Chains A and B, each alone.
Chain A
């Protein structure tokens, strides 16, 4: 079965610690994305990557970092510089730049910083 996996589903960290969220896809999609969702809010773009070894900042990139060393993987690190990291994080992928391509989402990681 093709799809996107995110791990872990729930993550708890102490304030001041960096944490890395995993995202893997076996859809052979070129593009991958990270979104943040707060309760009752929409999806805000953190970073996206169109191709291996390349990524672009989204609207709320401060306090986050990413890497794209493999086509299948796009991990997100939430650093201690992120002022309010508690949120639901969604990873997505897309086949190409064409508008009609839908984004496929992973199940999400709910991060709670204590």
Chain B
């Protein structure tokens, strides 16, 4: 079967750094994406990794190691508004994408 594993919950303090891991097992792999979803809202795209290495976008960075079938999302200088669910997603070929179950991030003051 195909699966994406990520922690169900992470808690961090405002101003800190947090890393959300994602390991995947899929029949095809054409890139790892990350999405953010606030309660009751729609997921919004954060970042994409097609090749190994680190991609940085402001306070957010994302890393991919294809040999380890592993990636992570790094959030720096955490703010209260970062409290949300974060989903990793794998493009398995063409138009099809599989999403992980999501990691709920709680940011405390």
Residues of A within 8 A of B (CB): 31, 33, 35, 40-45, 48, 50, 56, 58, 90, 94, 97, 99-100, 102-108
Contact = CB atoms under 8 A, between A and B. Distances in A.
Contacts of B102: 40-42
Q: Which 4 A-B pairs have the closest CB atoms?
A: A99-B31, A102-B45, A105-B42, A42-B101
Interface string B21-56: 000000000110101000001111100101000000
20 contacts: A33-B97, A35-B99, A40-B104, A42-B99, A42-B100, A42-B102, A44-B99, A45-B96, A45-B97, A45-B98, A45-B99, A50-B94, A56-B96, A99-B48, A99-B50, A100-B48, A102-B33, A102-B48, A103-B97, A107-B41
Interface residues of B, number: 23
Which of A43, A58, A107 has the most chain B CB within a 10 Å cutoff?
A43
A105 B43 contact: yes
A11 to B, nearest CB: 15
A95 to B, nearest CB: 10
Contacts of A107: 41-42
Interface in B53-109: 87, 91, 94-102, 104
A94 B91 CA distance: 12
B87 A42 contact: yes
